[in-house]
Amino acid sequence: MSSNSINEQLKQFENLKRKLESPELQQIVEKNLDKLREQNRMIHSEILKQSIDRMELLIIDEDLIAAAGYKLYIEHLISLAQHL
């Protein structure tokens, strides 16, 4: 490898480094990060809402099962009382 080639690569690296460290690019990166954070919050919020909805459905189902069990129990008590 010639020293000319190494110098060219070093110059390219320095130019790229300068571009990456530019305030304009940093602003773009920050703006995109803010957008990603907002999307992430929205996704997590939606996941939480869906989880809560499912939990509410499970609670309703559990209440219905409990209510059906109480109904059967009361009907059984009524039939026992009728046989006395």
Give pLDDT tens digits for 5-47.
899 999 999 998 888 888 898 899 999 999 999 999 889 888 8
Highest mean pLDDT among 27-31, 52-56, 73-77: 27-31
Total domains in the fold of the chain: 1
DSSP label at 1? -
Instruction: Return the pLDDT at 13.
Output: 92
CA separation for the pair 16, 10 (Å, rounded): 10
CB under 8 Å to 35, separation ≥6 — which residues?
none
Amino acid, res. 81: A
What pLDDT score was predicted for residue 1?
58
pTM of the model: 0.48
Residue 12: domain span: 3-83
